[in-house]
Amino acid sequence: MATTVPPQPKAAAEKVNIMISDFNDRAKAAFEKTAKAGEELGEFTKGNFEAFATSAKTAAKGAESLGQELADYGKKSFESASATIKSLAAVKTPTELFQIQSDYAKSAFDSAVAEASKLSEAWLKLAGEVVQPISSRYALAAEKFKSTAL
């Protein structure tokens, strides 16, 4: 005696097979999409780390350079003050004393203002250089978020 499957259960089995196949396809696509997103996240995180490392290196080099500038200015100021003290020790009249002191005060003030301006510009430039890599990563993150949100 031969057994035959009635048409309705056979059609139901085919539908179940189609549903399982569709589920497998969707699960595979979701897994691939998730794996790709994880890979992109890893690359993005690596880029962020590199940006922070670049910023830190730039900040360290800039701080070293600015520190050297301050040391050089301090040395010049000390040398100028020493020369003025020697000049003051050799004065012959009170008028000459006040003239040397006045010239030194004016020179020291002008030098301090010029150095402050120079350092201020250098700090602003350094701040821009330090922030630039991080700012670029922020812009990239905003662009990626915008493209995935749409």
8 domain residue, yes or no: no
- Phi and psi at 6, nearest 5°, equal -60, 155
Closest CA to 100 of 122, 83, 77: 83
pLDDT, mean of residues 82-100: 94
Q: 104: domain range?
A: 24-149
Please state, in angstroms and rounded to a whole number, the distance separating the CA atoms of residues 109 and 17. 90
- Taking only the tens place, the pLDDT of each residue in 62-78 is 999 999 999 999 999 99
Residue 125 within any structural domain of the chain: yes
**What is d(CA 91, CA 31) in angstroms, rounded to the nearest whole number?**
89
Q: What is the pTM of this model?
A: 0.66
pLDDT value at 104 more than 60: yes
Counted domains in the chain: 1
Q: Is 71 domain-assigned?
A: yes
Residue 17 amino acid letter: N
